[in-house]
Structure 1
Amino acid sequence: MQPPESRDHLSECLRLLPALSDLIIAVQSFRGRWSAISSTLNRLRVEDIAGFQSNDLSEDFFRSLSETLQLGLSLSGQCRAVHPPAGRLRTQSELDALAASLEQLASDSDVLIRTGEILQSPVGASRREALRAEARMLITRLQVGTMASRLAALESLMAILCSNEKNVLIAVGQGLVAALLGLLDFSTLSHGGAREKTVAAIARVCSVETCRHLLISEGVPLVSHLSRVLAEPDGGGSSKEKACAVLQSLTLQRDIAMTVGFGGSIFLLLETCRFGTPHAQATAAGVLKNLASLPELHHNFMEDSALPVLIQILQSGTVPAQENAAACLANLVAGEESQNQTIRLAAFQEGALDCIRNYLDTSAADLRNLEPAIKLLRNFSSSSFFADVILSAGFLRHVILALDCSSGGTRTEAARTISELAAACSKPTRDGVEFAVPRLISMLEAKTAEEKEASVKALASLMGFTLCRKLMKKDEKGIFNVVTLLDPTILNLEKKYAVSVLLAVSQTRKSRKLVVAAGARGFLPWLVEMQVSTQ
């Protein structure tokens, strides 16, 4: 049943449509434009929309259409003369506006026809079904009408999305992602504020992990819109914060990261790091961290002069920004390629190690994450020159203390760093490397194979030092745990490091008895068969 107001607008549309079509035949000026308008009128399936149950969307559509058709009648009357009374320029401008309005209404009618059946109000529906119906209605509103009406729908939808994570899943199931991308397309030229609110909605969807694959599937179009947000002036920086938050999640996927990196967004992200809000700076550095994990993009970082910006953040940014900047630098200086050597030297010259010292010295005060800083030291240490510099500067103490961290990732990075630094320890007692041995032995009981391997590899690298070897020999439990690592059922763990440690401590009869008592003999046939060596 159509409400009286809706019926009035509908009957007005049904009267005006044929009337305008008849008048178009008689126009004498701008016939080409009127011909295009006539084609658009034929796409307006008013009777089909009237066949659905009346709702706010159809009422708004009929009202807007009747107003536009009345304007069309007035203009067609003026165009019956070869020279319109209002002048050709003004009439042409008004005709263009009329054509754009009708084109939008035709597009709206397509959406209403497509969604008409599912927008029928459910009778006796459960609370969940009622919420799903409301979400469908609001998502449809995002696709029809004026920008003001779309923004009103978006605000209502955001209230639903922010109230409960399950509501996000419901809305996504009703086609929210595609509607938001369509709204970005619609708002690109007409309303900058709409883009900010739309990006905020996308960020809310991205915050639900099970929904991210839908954003990833949008690929290039979504990245293009987010990059445009980064490129435009932004007073409060809120939209840039949200755009970076979305990109930080999406660039964990290699394909998306490559699209962002090769699309010119590295420069935009660096600009956000320089001039954005503290939160935008931190999230932009997080995106850069993900991009820097791809060696193919390192050249782009250097072309955009990324190192000074990253080191400035590492020196004076917020704690989250510093962590992301350190992780980004760690990724950039990783590897043994000539390009990585160049980046390593450039980072050193920019003062990266001094910033890391300050970062580590202040870490105890604010309980910041040490893993990215220790990883950066490890990647520097893969070069013998920088390993000497790091030891001479007293960084080994920080690395050894990091072995006591509650974070398994930090302990693992610290153990790997010790493996790199051990080769440069000419005087181990001076450097204090022996203090790492008890901590590394404790790590042999870690839960993850990754941490166990890092610890036994570090121990193997230290067995060339007499003092470290003596400490290992005295620890019966440690020897037992090293022998345990030979078990073939422990997967994803290189056995050669355990073999190296056991060979080093088996130089005396007492030590050999401990190794045998721990069960090493039982693993010998398997080790021989697998041709495990210490090389």
Structure 2
Amino acid sequence: MTQPSIINSSDTAAATTAAAPLQPLLDILTNLVSLLLLSSLSVQSFVGRWQILRTKLISLQSSLSSVSESTHWSENPLLHTLLPTLLSTLQRLKALSDQCALPSFTGGKLLMQSDLDIASTSLSKHLHDLDLLLRSGVLHQSNAIVLSQPGPGSEKQDMVLFVKDLFTRLQIGGTEFKKKSLESLLQLLNNDEKSAGLVAKEGNIGYLISLLDFHHQGSIREQAVLALSMVVSANDESRKIVFEEGGLGPLLRILETGSMPLKENAAVAIEAITTDPENAWAVSAYGGVAVLIEACRSGSVATQSHAVGAIRNVAAVEDIISTLAEEGAVPVLVQLLDSGSGPAQEKATNCIATLAASGEYFRVLITQQRGLQRLMHLVQDSPSNTVTTENALRAISSLSMSDSTARILSSSTAFIIQLGEFIKSGNFILQQISSSLLGNLSISDGNKRAISSCMVSLVKLIECPKPVGLQEAATQALVSLLTVRSNRKELVRDDKGMTRLVRMLDPKNEAVNKKYPVAVAAAVLGGGSNGCRKRMVAAGAHQQLQSLTEMEVPGAKKVLQRLAGNRLKSIFSRSWRE
């Protein structure tokens, strides 16, 4: 089922009524152009200007001939506006040619020059509009007054013709044509997601961008910005086309000075454009960093969300990242951790994590703005948005490289307990970051005992080959927790945990690098507990370690000696007593 392009019934009726006089009007225009061509050869004054006009008149003659040869030219509503205005221009030009044909020109020369230049400009505009109509192919389309909107799954040829017709109306028609064409364009983009790529490729995106200029009506600018935001959000090719047509600069101006609806849609488009690092660098060239920061500070909820998304994209570009600090991005981003909406909060934490990982300079700025406390608050509140939590933890992990920050984290029992909960029930990313933090922080024995319940989960994580780095992080965290005697005893009493550990020590188990379970076994035996030794031997660790020692696995021989040494000591002690 196809839907008609949005054209008023009154406009359709007017166009149909006006269809009959078009042929006589075209005949008048053709004859008038022929007369002007003859006159241009006999003018006595301003010969240079008339030579230029003659070239344009020859092109006009050819264009009018092409129009008359088009199958359905009289059905196109644009010609009902274009041809009468063209007639007015030619009639004015005929009057000027009569004055210039006199042997001696008695009028004001400057005024005549001005009049000829105005007529020449008008003629160029008419030629441009006719050329657009002819190149679009719509003059050969039956019933072009209301061209049917192709539905999803329509043939590409029909879609291309419809898009060309839309942009032809958009460029040639007056304000009402522009509004209706934009309404049809938005309808097409809403009804068929795949159409955005075709619009970007077949439509005149440069002209659509030009409608963002402030001299256009507010409603036209709003529709144009919305259409651009939909096109640019479609795919990589659409983003590239909008950027190469110069869309970023006008969109940033809209974001800076436009109304609220304009700003919101402009922010959507800017965020989409800047997802490509090759486009993101240009934000700085347009002076857009300050504009984006101000949009985050004072924009609506929707504007904030997409503006901070664009800043996040910009933060990934090494050449621009310093500009973010200079323009004061950090305080605004940190503030959004408390006051931003869910999407804005998620993107702000992502951006802060990127900045914190970039170097000590940004880590100091974030800490000075109490960013650490706000990030810890986000983590401990366990928001439903897992991505926000992941980003917050990544940022905290980078900030923990500072000794003062590491001390704050290490002394926060609530934060340490939350890390333990993530290890037990979080996704792999949360588990990995939490494990890495636990392994690197200097946690008190009391806090280590408080999260002992996560040790079995850490043993499980050592078996997971992906994501890369998870096994190492889990091993470091577990070894840290096993420095506490009660934790060692708790782990060896867990039969499932010991079974997993011994299974990982098995040389036949190639999924796990042996240095990880060997390190855990060494930590279990580190306190010299005879009970821990007995349980490890009972679980079969002695045999596996003996095999690993023969294979010269680093650390295996030392762990085996601890098992054997304790065993010999027990034998000698029993013999002495006897």
TM-score (norm 1): 0.79
Change (3 A) 1:504 1:139: farther
The Cα of 1:273 is off from its aligned counterpart by 0.8
Change (3 A) 1:457 1:299: same
- Greater mean deviation of Cα atoms: 272-281 or 507-516: 507-516
The Cα of 1:331 is off from its aligned counterpart by 0.6
Equivalent-residue separation in structure 1 for 2:215 and 2:29 (angstroms):
28
SS in 1 for 2:204: helix
Please say if 1:242 is aligned against 2:270. Answer: no
What is the match of residue 201 of structure 1?
227
Please say if 1:380 is aligned against 2:399. Answer: yes
Equivalent-residue separation in structure 1 for 2:520 and 2:287 (angstroms):
49
Q: Is the 8 A contact 1:199 1:243 kept in 2?
A: yes
What is the match of residue 353 of structure 1?
372
Q: Which runs of 5+ in 2 are unaligned?
A: 1-17, 527-532, 555-578
Q: Is the 8 A contact 1:289 1:324 kept in 2?
A: yes
What is the match of residue 433 of structure 2?
416
SS in 2 for 1:353: helix
Q: 2:123 aligns with which of 84, 87, 102?
A: 102
What is the match of residue 6 of structure 1?
22
Q: Which runs of 5+ in 1 are unaligned?
A: 530-535
Q: How many residues align?
A: 508
What is the match of residue 15 of structure 2?
none
Equivalent-residue separation in structure 2 for 1:56 and 1:362 (angstroms):
68
What is the match of residue 396 of structure 1?
416
The Cα of 1:14 is off from its aligned counterpart by 1.4
Structure 1 residue identity aligned to 2:267: C
Equivalent-residue separation in structure 2 for 1:325 and 1:232 (angstroms):
20
SS in 1 for 2:374: helix
The Cα of 1:433 is off from its aligned counterpart by 4.8
Q: 2:536 aligns with which of 490, 493, 511?
A: 511
Please say if 1:114 is aligned against 2:132. Answer: no
- Greater mean deviation of Cα atoms: 388-397 or 475-484: 475-484
Deviations for 1:292-346, whole angstroms, at most 9, x for unmatched residues?
23333221111211112212222322222122112111110104xxxx2121111
What is the match of residue 326 of structure 1?
349
| Bigger radius of gyration | 2
The Cα of 1:513 is off from its aligned counterpart by 6.5
The Cα of 1:3 is off from its aligned counterpart by 4.8
Equivalent-residue separation in structure 1 for 2:513 and 2:49 (angstroms):
75
Q: Is the 8 A contact 2:163 2:202 kept in 1?
A: no
Please say if 1:185 is aligned against 2:223. Answer: no
Q: Is the 8 A contact 1:52 1:117 kept in 2?
A: no
Q: Is the 8 A contact 1:196 1:239 kept in 2?
A: yes
User: 1:135-534 residue pairs with structure 2 within 5 A?
Assistant: 135-146=163-174, 148-166=176-194, 168=195, 172-173=197-198, 176=201, 178-185=203-210, 188=213, 190-191=215-216, 193=218, 194-208=220-234, 211-225=235-249, 227-230=251-254, 232-236=256-260, 238-335=261-358, 340-360=359-379, 362-364=381-383, 369-394=388-413, 395-403=415-423, 408=427, 411-413=428-430, 415-430=432-447, 432-441=450-459, 443=461, 449-450=466-467, 453-454=469-470, 456-465=472-481, 466-467=483-484, 468-478=487-497, 497=516, 500-501=519-520, 503-505=522-524, 508=533, 510-511=535-536, 514=539
SS in 1 for 2:21: helix
Change (3 A) 1:455 1:102: farther
SS in 1 for 2:480: coil
Structure 1 residue identity aligned to 2:225: V
TM-score (norm 2): 0.74
Tell me the C-alpha RMSD between the 2 structures: 4.2
Residue identity (%): 24
Equivalent-residue separation in structure 2 for 1:83 and 1:494 (angstroms):
101
Equivalent-residue separation in structure 1 for 2:551 and 2:167 (angstroms):
63
The Cα of 1:499 is off from its aligned counterpart by 5.4
Structure 2 residue identity aligned to 1:179: N
Q: Is the 8 A contact 1:177 1:215 kept in 2?
A: no
Deviations for 1:336-385, whole angstroms, at most 9, x for unmatched residues?
xxxx2121111111121232244345555888842222222111113333
- Greater mean deviation of Cα atoms: 274-283 or 151-160: 151-160
The Cα of 1:283 is off from its aligned counterpart by 0.8
What is the match of residue 67 of structure 1?
85
